[in-house]
Amino acid sequence: MDKATLRQQTIQALSQMPADQRQAASERLYQALWASPQWRAAQTVATTLSSAIELNTQPIIARAQAEGKTVAVPQTHPHRQMAFRPLTATTTLMTTKFGLQEPQNGPVIAPADFDLIVVPGLKFATTGERLGFGGGYYDRYLPQTTGYKVALALPAQQASQPSWPVEDFDVVLDAVLNA
């Protein structure tokens, strides 16, 4: 199956997931993340400000901040590049043309400074391959960091093996947590 078709099918499946099932699966994923040794050891965590179809990242952000971790979220740049800036009470957010919230101020955190990166995407194989949204931002960013790369996959996002073409530049994740 080609990537575009699989992306559309996954978006449709996510949008049709009953709210109670989504909440229960999300809670299992949060608990699995928070129980991991990588989460407990992490001081600097990268995640996204999720869109409506994605796993809600607000509980992850709130827990990390409550535990005194530095939380950073991405800001996109030209040429499909991105940088992560801390998310704090003084962060100014702006909505992009894609409808996503991005930080506009604060220092850029170097890729080498991340201990844990919660990687977004649409489909995840248990073997670590991911199908992203198609922009290539994470494909360009992830090779720059040695942080532990983990995805949290709702049921509609799970695959035992990739059913999509995997490219040489695709970074295999360290872990995919399934609900």
Q: What is the pLDDT of residues 114-156, one digit of tens each?
A: 999 999 999 999 999 999 999 899 999 999 999 999 999 999 9
Give the domain 3-178 fold. Rossmann fold (3.40.50)
pLDDT beneath 50, residues of the chain: none
pLDDT of residue 83: 97
Query: Closest Cα partner for 162 from 133, 134, 124?
Result: 124
Q: Residue 7, SS3?
A: helix
Checking phi first, is residue 75 left (phi over 0); if not, alpha (psi -120 to 50) or beta?
A: beta
Q: Enumerate the known binding-site residues for ATP.
A: 3-7, 130-138
pTM comes to 0.95
Q: Enumerate the known binding-site residues for substrate.
A: 49, 54
pLDDT of residue 99: 87
Domain ranges across the chain: 3-178
Q: In angstroms, rounded to a whole number, what is the distance separating the alpha carbons of residues 74 and 145?
A: 14
Q: Enumerate the known binding-site residues.
A: 3-7, 49, 54, 130-138
Which amino acid would we find at residue 155?
Answer: P
pLDDT of residue 114: 98
pLDDT of residue 8: 96
